[in-house]
Amino acid sequence: MNDHLLDIRDLKLAFKSYTGLIEVLHGISLNIRRGEKVALVGESGSGKSVTARIILGLLQEFSTARISGSVSFEGEDLEMQPLSVRQALRGTKISMIFQDPTSSLNPVYTIGVQFQEVLRRGNTQISATDAEARAIALLQDVSIPEPERVLASYPFQLSGGMNQRVMIAMALANEPSLLIADEPGTALDVTVQAQTLHLMRDLVERRGTSVLFISHNLGVVREFADRVYVIYKGRLVEHGQTSELFHSPRHPYTKALMAAVPRITGGGIPDIAEATDAYLDPLIDHEAEAAS
Amino acid sequence: MKRTFYILLSNPLSVIGLVLVGTVVFSAVFADFIAPFPSHRGAVVDFTNFNQAPHWPNIFGTDLVGRDVFSRILYAYRISLLLGVVVLAIAVPIGVTVGLAAGYLGGWAEFVLMRLTDVFLSIPPLVLAMAIMGLLEPTLTNGMLAVTTMWWPWYARLVYNVTRSEAQEGYVLAAEIIGASRIHVMFREILPNCVPSIVTKMTLDLGFVILIASSLSFLGLGVQAPTPDLGSMVAEGGNYLPDSWWLTVFPSLAILIAVFGFNLLGDALRQILGSDQ
Amino acid sequence: MNDSATEFRPVLEARSVSKVFMTATHEVKALNSVSLNVSRGECLAIVGESGSGKTTFANMLLGIYPPTTGEFFLDGDLLPNRRTLPLRRSIQLVQQNPLSSLNPRRTIGASLRLALDVHDIGDRQGRKARIGALLEEVGLPADFAARYPAALSGGQRQRVAIARALACEPEILVLDEPTSALDVLVQARVLQLLDELRHRRNLTYVFITHDLGVVRNIADRVAVFERGNLVEQAGTEEIFERPANAYTRSLIGAIPIITDDEEALRKKVMEKNSAG
């Protein structure tokens, strides 16, 4: 089992507050192999976004956060590493794409300036002309028609879809081995979202980049991911290959989640009961069952 | 409530602020019982015990006519706080109404009200107050009037900015679609959402009003003798530095404690009221 | 839907409604001569992406700003640009984000009471009872009236927003993306509630959304807007099975779906686009 690029074991997270300790993650274990696209799907408050933040080492800086468990990246336990090492990983070996592309970019700098900064993180010696050539090539990769014009533009001069492509290009600029995509494209129109997701999928497949894809949208997950973890209230409830999970969901929560999505083939508004304790049933792991 | 205590106690500075403000308010309210020489707030003369350095029972010393400095500071706090409360009680409603109207109604109302506000804001406050005090008699009432005149525009500006952003919220649209009157939207919907910023600013301002009132008295334009006032005490004592240091140092410290205390408490309130419960 | 023919006279009509916004430098055509009818008790979905003009249409219908040209008719009568209270009462709105649409510093009861006070519905005692009844009608306990929005979940808040709109006893409810800020499990239950209310109260819905999955299951008829133009309108089944317009087809093609049946439908629709 050493082909895991990312291996999270029994990760627990709690926040200290005036009402006591609030548990957010109750011990989740997940892994991503090289070149694999893995989705973590759940509703708001399920703990999916904080998981991403822990991988990036962003929550560790909070004095109220209590974290236990291990996060290994390329075989190294990140929790053992000093903060500077973790920070150096960000934007180079591990990069991230956020939900709203326009607000993730700095409005007072041109795309070109921001791109150069991203490239400098990966290679401090890169010259301005090399950086520009590289940026143009990367923007062409994400099917941006006039890369020179885009580099000279400010984020607000570009459409949301264009900014999202710029974000993807930047995220892949330093050839990361892991890309964390937190609800990418949710702020965009459906047609634009569909296009950018296809584009992103093609790119990461071609480069062999691993992806942790965080989403609440089952449809998007089905189209993008190879493997899916379903998370509910800080617990993983079901795990399996995408097609298997979508064809035969077995956990009560996953079943309810799938039933709740209105179908474009009709069938009426789904009839969903109140949340039950069955949603907290233990993890159903299709993969582990297949292996044994 | 629990959250309030948590925030308050997790920050030692806010505890200090609370203690300082508590002390100031307590001394002002109960001056009659705490002050060792309550009669010294008035025109008392005791030439057997004048200009004495701190000693028992005059722990802050005595002034040039033999009055107990400690007692006079307690009564000065009372006047200062009264001044602050009255000034804010007049300035805040005016400023808030102007800010709400300008921010919510927009158009001409916004133009006229905010330009007027800008005019007041562009005059240095102390200069404006001095002008008013120069025209009128330097009494406590006129002092309050002067300080009020320069204080409301700050609230107009603050509330205007909050109103402009709150007006974009869905609840304002919802009230309009239902058919609620403008008065209702301004005072019942938007105003409650301005309250945290207003209360925070009021706490900070109590300190500043005391400071400004003291400055006016220092210049001889504020509260008149024999009523005790921190500003005039500092001014009078200044002539006898450094020998009779207690005449200046203790009133100055009293001003510092009040202003500092209200500032710390204001910052704590900003944290407590800032995020929604 | 009822079967009697009288139920289908238009309760709402838009006649060549256009809107041009003036910016500092140029004019922006937000809506281009749109004509639509909505029958009583019907749910008309208005579908489109950002910049399609669907929100502009709704805002003009609600009287937030007037159309540049064209008119709206309610029950055959011209809707004036300045709405009287009874007219406001008859067209109500449920907004997308219930976090913003409820005043965080007023209780649920106070928010509901506003509608009753403004439109003078019931007497003092009656209003309190009515607030409780409204909350129960949207599936919330009556004692929620004393709570603040922060103590409610997203779904509960949206139910309150629906109750507030109902408090006015409107004929028409404009639903502006009412479930897109909600989790999918919560969405299903709020949609269920909206569907029930429509039939129970014989309400007319103008349902504005970009989510075609929702549209397929709640709307009777669909109007597709693209860049300020009404490009297609038809019965819901017609739109999904035989979309006539290329843009409608590309919208259907872009929806993320989760079953093989849906995949087949999407494929069938998209084939027409690549052929045409």
Q: What is the pLDDT of residues A8-63, one digit of tens each?
A: 999 999 998 878 899 999 999 999 999 999 999 999 999 999 999 999 888 888 88
Determine the distance from the C-alpha atom of residue A170 to the mean position of all C-alpha atoms in its chain, rounded to a whole number: 15
A247 Cβ neighbours under 8 A, 6+ residues apart: none
The type of residue at A282 is P
Distance CA A55, CA A76 (A): 12
ipTM of the complex model? 0.91
Q: Element (H or E) spanning B124, and its range? A: none
Q: Indicate if the pLDDT at residue B46 is higher than 90.
A: no
- Residue C178 vs residues B20, B233, C21, C93, C98: alpha-carbon distances, Å: 50, 65, 26, 10, 9
Q: Chain C window 194-253: which residues touch A at a Cβ cutoff of 8 Å?
A: 195, 210-214, 216-218, 237, 240, 250-253
Cis peptide before B242 (omega within 30 of 0): yes
Q: Indicate if the pLDDT at residue B216 is higher than 90.
A: no
Q: Indicate if the pLDDT at residue C3 is higher than 50.
A: no
pLDDT at residue number A91: 87
What is the CA angle C130-C132-C137, rounded to 5? 90
- Give the confidence band of A184 by pLDDT, cuts at 50, 70, 90: confident
Is residue A183 a contact partner of residue A209, using CB atoms and an 8 Å limit?
no
Closest CA to C72 of C35, C29, C109: C35
Each residue's pLDDT tens digit, C171-189: 999 999 999 999 999 999 9
CB C95 to CB B169 under 8 A? no
Which residues is C204 bridged to in the sheet?
A: C172
Q: What are the tokens at C269?
A: 């629709």
- Residue A175 vs residues A134, A170, B149, C32: alpha-carbon distances, Å: 12, 10, 63, 47
CB C105 to CB B175 under 8 A? no
**Distance from the A18 Cα atom to the nearest Cα atom in chain B, whole angstroms:** 6
Q: Which residue has better confidence, C151 or C276? A: C151
Helix axis angle, B191-218 to B246-274, nearest 10°: 170
CB C50 to CB A189 under 8 A? yes
Q: Which residues of A touch C211 (CB under 8 A)?
A: 262
Is residue C56 a contact partner of residue C30, using CB atoms and an 8 Å limit?
yes
Q: Which residues of A touch C256 (CB under 8 A)?
A: 190, 194, 217-220, 222-223
Distance CA A140, CA B144 (A): 69
Q: Which residues of A touch C237 (CB under 8 A)?
A: 266
The type of residue at A283 is L
- Give the confidence band of B192 by pLDDT, cuts at 50, 70, 90: very high
3 state SS of A121: helix
The type of residue at C136 is E
- Three state DSSP letters for chain C: CCCCHHHHCEEEEEEEEEEEEECCCCEEEEEEEEEEEEECCCEEEEECCCCCCHHHHHHHHCCCCCCCEEEEEECCEECCCCCCHHHHHHEEEECCCHHHHCCCCCCHHHHHHHHHHHCCCCCHHHHHHHHHHHHHHCCCCHHHHHCCHHHCCHHHHHHHHHHHHHHCCCCEEEEECCCCCCCHHHHHHHHHHHHHHHHHHCCEEEEEECCHHHHHHHCCEEEEEECCEEEEEEEHHHHHHCCCCHHHHHHHHHCCCCCHHHHHHHHHHHHHHHHC
Closest CA to A66 of A17, A28, A29, A18: A17
Is residue A150 a contact partner of residue A135, using CB atoms and an 8 Å limit?
no
A 10 A CB-CB count for B240 gives 15
- Give the largest Cα separation in chain C, rounded: 66
3 state SS of A28: strand
Q: Which residues of C touch B177 (CB under 8 A)?
A: 62, 64, 88, 92-93
Q: Element (H or E) spanning B190, and its range? A: none
Dump the DSSP string for B192-255.
HHHHHHHHHHHHHHHHHHHHHHHHHHHTT-SSPTTS--HHHHHHHHHTTTTTTTHHHHHHHHHH
Could you give the strand order of the β-sheet that contains C69-74, starting from the edge strand earlier in sequence? C27-39, C10-22, C69-74, C77-78
Each residue's pLDDT tens digit, B90-146: 999 999 999 999 999 999 999 999 999 999 888 887 787 788 878 888 777 887 788
Is residue A279 a contact partner of residue A42, using CB atoms and an 8 Å limit?
no
Each residue's pLDDT tens digit, C230-258: 999 999 999 999 999 999 999 999 989 99
CB C49 to CB A194 under 8 A? no
- Per-residue pLDDT, averaged over C156-184, amounts to 96
Q: How many residue contacts between A and C have a Cβ separation below 8 Å?
A: 108
Q: Which residues of C touch B277 (CB under 8 A)?
A: 148, 150
- Give the confidence band of C5 by pLDDT, cuts at 50, 70, 90: very low
The type of residue at A130 is D
3 state SS of A231: strand
Distance CA B271, CA C269 (A): 55
pTM comes to 0.89
- Give the confidence band of B24 by pLDDT, cuts at 50, 70, 90: very high
**Subunits with at least 3 CB pairs below 8 A relative to chain A?**
B, C
- The percent of residues in chain A predicted with pLDDT above 70, rounded, is 99
Task: Tell whether B277 is within 8 A of chain C (Cβ).
Answer: yes
- Give the confidence band of C37 by pLDDT, cuts at 50, 70, 90: very high
Interface test with chain B among C106, C114, C147, by most B beta carbons within 10 Å: C114
Q: Which residues of C touch B189 (CB under 8 A)?
A: 103, 106
3 state SS of A259: helix
Tell me phi and psi for residue C28, to 5 degrees: -115, 120
Dump the DSSP string for A38-62.
EEEE--TTSSHHHHHHHHTT-STT-
pLDDT at residue number C4: 45
**Distance from the B1 Cα atom to the nearest Cα atom in chain A, whole angstroms:** 10
**Distance from the A22 Cα atom to the nearest Cα atom in chain B, whole angstroms:** 14
Give C161's Cβ-side CA count (13 Å radius). Answer: 35
Task: Tell whether B175 is within 8 A of chain C (Cβ).
Answer: yes
- Per-residue pLDDT, averaged over C56-63, amounts to 96
Closest CA to A184 of A228, A240, A223: A223
CB B175 to CB C102 under 8 A? no
Interface of C with B (CB under 8 A): 62, 64, 83, 85, 88-89, 92-93, 95, 97, 100-106, 111, 114-115, 118-119, 148, 150, 161, 164, 168
Interface test with chain C among A48, A183, A264, A279, by most C beta carbons within 10 Å: A264
3 state SS of A16: strand
Q: Which residues of B touch C100 (CB under 8 A)?
A: 169-171
Dump the DSSP string for B128-159.
HHHHHHHHS---HHHHHHHHHHHHHHHHHHHH
Of B170, B189, B195, the CB nearest to C97: B170
CB B5 to CB A18 under 8 A? yes
Taking all residues of chain A, what is their mean pLDDT, rounded to a whole number? 91
Distance CA C221, CA C234 (A): 6
Q: Element (H or E) spanning A214, and its range? A: strand A210-215
Is residue B88 a contact partner of residue B148, using CB atoms and an 8 Å limit?
no
Of C154, C184, C213, the CB nearest to A264: C213
pLDDT at residue number A1: 47
Each residue's pLDDT tens digit, C9-27: 799 999 999 999 988 888 8
pLDDT at residue number A2: 60
3 state SS of A216: coil
CB A272 to CB C258 under 8 A? no
How would you class C162 by CB atoms within 10 Å of its CB: exposed for 0-12, middle for 13-18, buried for 19 or more?
Answer: buried
Give A69's Cβ-side CA count (13 Å radius). Answer: 21
pLDDT at residue number B3: 75
Q: How many residue contacts between A and B have a Cβ separation below 8 Å?
A: 7
pLDDT at residue number A190: 87
B45 Cβ neighbours under 8 A, 6+ residues apart: B65, B66
pLDDT at residue number B211: 84
Distance CA A267, CA B245 (A): 89
What is the CA angle C232-C234-C236, rounded to 5? 120
Task: Tell whether A18 is within 8 A of chain B (Cβ).
Answer: yes
